[in-house]
Structure 1
Amino acid sequence: MRLSERNLKETGREYALRMLKDNIINLDLIPGSMLSENELSAEMKLSRTPVREALIELSKVKIVEVYPQKGSAVAFVDYELVEEARFMREVLECAVVELACKLASEKDLEALKENVRLQEFYMENRSPKKLLELDNEFHRMLFHITSKDQVYHLMDSITIHFDRIRSMSLTAVKDLKTISDHKEIVEAIAAKDGIKAKVLMENHLSRYKFDEEALRRAYPGYFK
Structure 2
Amino acid sequence: MIVKKRYGRETGREYALRVLKENIVMLELEPGSRISENELASEIGVSRTPIREALIELSKSKIVKIYPQKGSYVSLIDWELVEEALFMRLTLEKAVVRLACQGIEEEKIQELEKNVKLQKFYIDNNEAGELLELDNQFHKELFAITNKIHIYRLMSVMMLHFDRLRTLRTKAVDQRYVIEDHLKILEAIRNKRPLEGEQVMERHLTRYIIDEKIVKEKYPQYFEIVEE
Amino acid at match of 1:218: K
3-state SS of 1:10 partner: coil
1:143-196 residue CA offsets vs partner (Å, 9 max, x unmatched): 011011111111112210001111111111136522211111111111110111
Q: Structure 1 regions of 5+ residues with no counterpart?
A: none
Alignment of 1:116-131 (within 5 A): 116-131=116-131
Amino acid at match of 2:219: Y
In 2, Cα distance between equivalents of 1:157 and 1:221: 24
Residue 205 (structure 1) aligns with:
205
1:73-120 residue CA offsets vs partner (Å, 9 max, x unmatched): 011111100000001101111100110111321001101111111111
- The CA deviation at 1:33 is 0.6
Amino acid at match of 1:103: G
> 1:42 and 2:59 equivalent?
no
Kindly indicate whether the alpha-carbon contact (under 8 Å) linking 1:34 and 1:72 is maintained by their aligned counterparts in 2. yes
Kindly indicate whether the alpha-carbon contact (under 8 Å) linking 2:185 and 2:201 is maintained by their aligned counterparts in 1. yes
Amino acid at match of 1:142: L
3-state SS of 1:66 partner: strand
Amino acid at match of 2:31: P
In 2, Cα distance between equivalents of 1:14 and 1:175: 31
Structure 2 CA distance for partners of 1:176 and 1:65, relative to 1, 3 Å:
farther
| RMSD, aligned CA | 1.0
In 1, Cα distance between equivalents of 2:115 and 2:175: 20
3-state SS of 2:158 partner: coil
Amino acid at match of 2:120: E
Residue 167 (structure 1) aligns with:
167
In 1, Cα distance between equivalents of 2:16 and 2:110: 35
Kindly indicate whether the alpha-carbon contact (under 8 Å) linking 1:103 and 1:145 is maintained by their aligned counterparts in 2. no
Residue 52 (structure 1) aligns with:
52
3-state SS of 2:73 partner: strand
For normalisation by structure 2, the TM-score amounts to: 0.96
Residue 24 (structure 1) aligns with:
24
> 1:181 and 2:196 equivalent?
no
Amino acid at match of 1:88: M
Kindly indicate whether the alpha-carbon contact (under 8 Å) linking 2:123 and 2:176 is maintained by their aligned counterparts in 1. no
> How many residue pairs get matched?
224
3-state SS of 1:158 partner: helix
3-state SS of 2:121 partner: helix
In 1, Cα distance between equivalents of 2:137 and 2:105: 17
For normalisation by structure 1, the TM-score amounts to: 0.97
Identity of aligned pairs, percent? Answer: 53
Alignment of 1:1-224 (within 5 A): 1-174=1-174, 176-224=176-224
In 2, Cα distance between equivalents of 1:176 and 1:223: 25
Q: Structure 2 regions of 5+ residues with no counterpart?
A: none
In 2, Cα distance between equivalents of 1:52 and 1:211: 35
Amino acid at match of 2:220: P
Kindly indicate whether the alpha-carbon contact (under 8 Å) linking 1:23 and 1:29 is maintained by their aligned counterparts in 2. yes
3-state SS of 1:159 partner: helix
- The CA deviation at 1:41 is 1.1
In 2, Cα distance between equivalents of 1:174 and 1:118: 16
